[in-house]
Structure 1
Amino acid sequence: MPNAPIENVIFDMGNVLMTFNGMRFARIFTDNEADAELLDRALFNRFEWSLLDAGVIGHETMQRVAEAALPERLHANLHECIAHWPEHSEPIPATNALVPRLKEHGLGVYLLSNASTRIDEQLGHCPAYPSMDGRVVSGEERLMKPDPAIYRLLCDRYELDPATCLFVDDNLNNCIGAEVAGMQSFHFAGDPARAAADLERRLAG
């Protein structure tokens, strides 16, 4: 059976609309590669980071967990990183340019992200975000992709038919979760410019 016509496109944020690279962020707040690796492992590469995105723990708890995994000499670096890393998350040009074109063609555009309650510190410099029609964020809802419930929540909140929604994510498991919830999906993989061009061709076809 053919897919329903796409009426809404739902974007992930990290590495689809905005860059997220823990090691790059860690390098900004340290003086050498070895310390950057320590900071990345203690903060961005821990299981507890997903708990932060899930809204299960807060940023103070995340900081204490990371401090326990670091030598005391890096605690000041950690505090600066926690406070300022969102400023260094950069817009991905190709997808940010695509969003207004989708709007011009009458498509609804939404955000569905696994992110903490500080997400607006990134979205504040995301060019496409002001033109979006709505959002669901894991840390605000205490639900996470790929749980089908979070995709259904977005559809219920904005009265969308899942069959007419195309979900775009760099994580294949999250795309599968969207399909379980009745959506179509697009795996945003590889070079961002090429992936955005492939996505636009799919929407045009």
Structure 2
Amino acid sequence: MVRERATALLVDFDGVLRRWDPAVAAGVEQRYGLTPGVLGDIAMQWGRLQPVLVGQVSHADWMASVADALASQSVEPDQARAAVAEWQEYRGEVDPDVLALVREVRAAGLPVGLATNATDLLDADLAALGLTDELDAVVNSSVLGVHKPAKEYFQAACQALRTSPDRVLFVDDDDRMISGARVAGLPAFRWSGPEGLRYVRAALAY
């Protein structure tokens, strides 16, 4: 059976539409004498990360907990807070190829949504990156109260796009999210870089 082409596009933020230069965090860690990779390692510990992704704590509280954890590792508290603050000043960069695709798809009359496990800082990040008016829907886990790859998350995203799941193409760089989307009935494509643009275009009905 040949699947019908999708009539809506749902893209992940980090790793797809937004990319991060690892040299920024590495530079902060070097300047403050921290172990390489420690900022990300602490921030991404699931017990610390999960509450901020579902809106139980704020982005500011999450970062304060990262600074506290650093301070518990024999880093002076003031230095820990300064390092985290400097690390957080960098808000990533827009992938120009993905943004061009988003604009192309919307210009063809298909809705495009952003599907992201994010914090209450998302709207400010979108504004800072000039993306506020580039999307038809933004589905933020911290607003929704549930995060990818939960089926309920994808159901809400499809509702936001006013499109049935089987016609919403989901693009993400994480295998777990791809699997979750497929369980929810969405066609999904694992993003690994601009070489995937050809597939995404071919899978959309325009």
Instruction: Tell me if the contact between 2:6 and 2:205 (Cα under 8 Å) persists in the aligned partners.
Output: no
Separation of aligned partners in 2, 1:90 and 1:25: 12
* Other-structure match for 1:165: 168
* Other-structure match for 2:28: 29
SS, match of residue 105 in structure 2: helix
* Other-structure match for 2:81: 75
* Other-structure match for 2:5: 5
Structure 1: runs of 5 or more not aligned: none
Q: Deviation string for 1:132-161 (max 9, x for gaps)?
A: 211210011111000010110122244211
Separation of aligned partners in 2, 1:201 and 1:171: 21
Q: What percent identity do the matched residue pairs reach? A: 23
RMSD (CA atoms): 2.4
SS, match of residue 65 in structure 1: helix
The one-letter code matched in structure 1 to 2:194 is A
Q: Deviation string for 1:105-158 (max 9, x for gaps)?
A: 221111111111101232124455513211210011111000010110122244
After TM superposition, give the deviation of residue 162 of structure 1 in Å. 1.0
Q: Deviation string for 1:155-195 (max 9, x for gaps)?
A: 22442111111011111111111111111111102xx2212
SS, match of residue 110 in structure 1: strand
Separation of aligned partners in 2, 1:123 and 1:99: 14
After TM superposition, give the deviation of residue 20 of structure 1 in Å. 3.7
Give runs of aligned pairs for residues 14-93 of structure 1, distance below 5 A: 14-20=14-20, 23-32=22-31, 35=34, 36-43=36-43, 45-47=44-46, 48-70=48-70, 71-72=75-76, 73-82=79-88, 84-86=89-91, 89-93=92-96
TM-score w.r.t. length of structure 1: 0.84
The one-letter code matched in structure 2 to 1:198 is Y
After TM superposition, give the deviation of residue 39 of structure 1 in Å. 2.6
SS, match of residue 29 in structure 1: helix
Residue 196 and residue 51 in structure 1: after superposition, are their counterparts in 2 closer, same or farther (change >3 A)? farther
Separation of aligned partners in 2, 1:120 and 1:108: 19
The one-letter code matched in structure 2 to 1:74 is A
After TM superposition, give the deviation of residue 7 of structure 1 in Å. 0.4
The answer to whether structure 1 residue 100 and structure 2 residue 103 are counterparts is yes
Separation of aligned partners in 1, 2:24 and 2:3: 40
Separation of aligned partners in 2, 1:127 and 1:198: 26
Structure 2: runs of 5 or more not aligned: none
Separation of aligned partners in 2, 1:59 and 1:18: 18
After TM superposition, give the deviation of residue 28 of structure 1 in Å. 4.4
Residue 24 and residue 55 in structure 1: after superposition, are their counterparts in 2 closer, same or farther (change >3 A)? farther
Residue 6 and residue 38 in structure 1: after superposition, are their counterparts in 2 closer, same or farther (change >3 A)? closer
Separation of aligned partners in 2, 1:178 and 1:38: 31
Aligned pair partner of 1:121 in 119, 124, 143:
124
Residue 60 and residue 90 in structure 1: after superposition, are their counterparts in 2 closer, same or farther (change >3 A)? closer
TM-score w.r.t. length of structure 2: 0.84
